[in-house]
Structure 1
Amino acid sequence: MPRGPIDVIVEYSLRRWPQLVERAEEMSRLDAFKLLVLTVLSQVTTSGNTWAAFTRLEERVGVEPHRLAAARVEDVEEAIRPAGLWRGRARALIQLAREVVTRFGGDLEPLSRLPTEELRRELMSLPRVGPKTADVLLLFHYGRRVMPVDTHISRLARRLGVASGGYEDVRKAIEASAHGDLRLVHLALIAFGRAVCRARGPRCWECPVASECPSRA
């Protein structure tokens, strides 16, 4: 099976950051609602801050739909402070929990019976759930072969010439070109984008596919 640049970068990243394998397993062990909360917390912050905020929220409030829906906003704000933007996020998480309780009785597991595109639409109908957040749940919890795309992955795909369009174009291009476990592909590409193929000052001398990259600095 021919290896493209995405596969080479994934292999490089997993050698450099082997802890990504355990991180993928940690995310997959979470129930759907906990993973949803984790993903909302991860927006515009680091992985370390995301997990710190999630752990504090679980310890102080509880990451369970009924408990979070009934929580005081001040308690949620204090718990998720490490993630930043805690005031807006706290209200968003409480609203999300209330919606899950109202519409699904607090249980997102029965949605697993839905076809992938219908399941994506249901998830995206929830507040603060866009395509990337929905696809994280589809991949890590519901076991669907989809590629969540964040800013790092999108930048990497465009620089490599793998895709040039928007979210769906990048998602489909990587799904078609990447081999193996897409959970690892997702985490590996994000790590590579943060450390090597950075938005500013890309470290092209560290890139294993620099010789074939059309955007090499």
Structure 2
Amino acid sequence: NLSEKFRLTPTVLSKANVKAIEKAIRIGGLHRNKSRVIKELSRVIVEELNGTLDFIYSTSLDEARELLMALPGIGPKTADVVLLFSANKPVLPVDTHVNRVSKRLELVASKADYERVRLTLQSLYSPNHYLAVHILLIMLGRKYCTARRPSHASCPVNMLCPSAKLGD
């Protein structure tokens, strides 16, 4: 766990040894690439943004999202997670679990991309529920709606789920 090895600030992480970051995040997978991205992103935040993302957080949702995605290693999902959890912006991030559950429940088309899933979910829920929806869909995906062999019988939404009826 990165927070057990380092104080999680851009200044500390920008000066950290890449191998030490790698070792701290090894369990998460892709640790070699992620450690370099963490170090580079931290350096950019320190050198170009005065060590804080406050300027980005003070802009509109669309502008903040665009600015975050311009940073090294930040894609749509990471930008949306940062905006929801750190800036309290009204956005509903789509991780692998949210994506899978949304498609199995047929809230979105099976071929829907990240943006289509995000925009559809955001249209279904009130912005003040995005955080709860995000967390609950992740929990549902981890516990019941797993990638392989979903637990249809014990799933709390199996009566609403077309996949459960098909035995998917």
Aligned length: 162
Unaligned runs of 5+ in 2: none
Superposed structure 1 runs of 4+ greater than 4 Å apart: none
* Structure-2 separation of matches of 1:63 and 1:212: 41
Q: Given the alignment of the two structures, is residue 162 of structure 1 paired with residue 107 of structure 2, yes or no?
A: yes
Aligned partner of 1:119 in structure 2 is 64
Aligned partner of 1:208 in structure 2 is 156
* Structure-2 separation of matches of 1:212 and 1:90: 41
* Structure-1 separation of matches of 2:102 and 2:16: 41
Deviations 1:152-204 (A, max 9, x none): 11111111111111111111121122355321211111111011011110111
Q: Given the alignment of the two structures, is residue 184 of structure 1 paired with residue 129 of structure 2, yes or no?
A: no
Q: How does 1:45-56 map to 2 (within 5 A)?
A: 53-56=1-4
Deviations 1:62-106 (A, max 9, x none): 221122112222222233334343322221111111111222121
Deviations 1:21-75 (A, max 9, x none): xxxxxxxxxxxxxxxxxxxxxxxxxxxxxxxx132232xxx22112211222222
Q: Given the alignment of the two structures, is residue 150 of structure 1 paired with residue 95 of structure 2, yes or no?
A: yes
Q: What SS does the corresponding residue of 1:145 show, helix, strand or coil?
A: coil
* Structure-2 separation of matches of 1:85 and 1:214: 34
Q: What SS does the corresponding residue of 1:81 show, helix, strand or coil?
A: helix
Percent of pairs with identical residues: 38
Aligned partner of 1:128 in structure 2 is 73
Unaligned runs of 5+ in 1: 1-52
**Contact 1:66–1:106 (Cα < 8 Å) also in 2:** yes
Q: What SS does the corresponding residue of 1:117 show, helix, strand or coil?
A: helix
Q: What SS does the corresponding residue of 1:203 show, helix, strand or coil?
A: coil
Q: What SS does the corresponding residue of 1:204 show, helix, strand or coil?
A: coil
Task: Tell me which amino acid in the other structure corresponds to 2:144.
Answer: V
* Structure-2 separation of matches of 1:166 and 1:212: 23
**Contact 2:144–2:152 (Cα < 8 Å) also in 1:** yes
Aligned partner of 1:110 in structure 2 is 55
**Contact 2:61–2:90 (Cα < 8 Å) also in 1:** no
The correspondence for 1:172, drawn from 98, 111, 119, is 119
Aligned partner of 1:29 in structure 2 is none
TM-score between both structures, scaled by the size of structure 1: 0.69
Change (3 A) 1:84 1:167: closer
Kindly indicate whether structure 1 or structure 2 has the higher relative contact order, using CA contacts under 8 Å at least 6 residues apart. Answer: 1
Q: What SS does the corresponding residue of 1:137 show, helix, strand or coil?
A: helix
TM-score between both structures, scaled by the size of structure 2: 0.88
Task: Tell me which amino acid in the other structure corresponds to 2:162.
Answer: P
Indicate the RMSD between aligned Cα atoms, in angstroms: 1.6
**Contact 2:57–2:83 (Cα < 8 Å) also in 1:** no
**Contact 1:57–1:80 (Cα < 8 Å) also in 2:** no
Aligned partner of 1:89 in structure 2 is 34
Q: How does 1:4-83 map to 2 (within 5 A)?
A: 53-58=1-6, 62-83=7-28
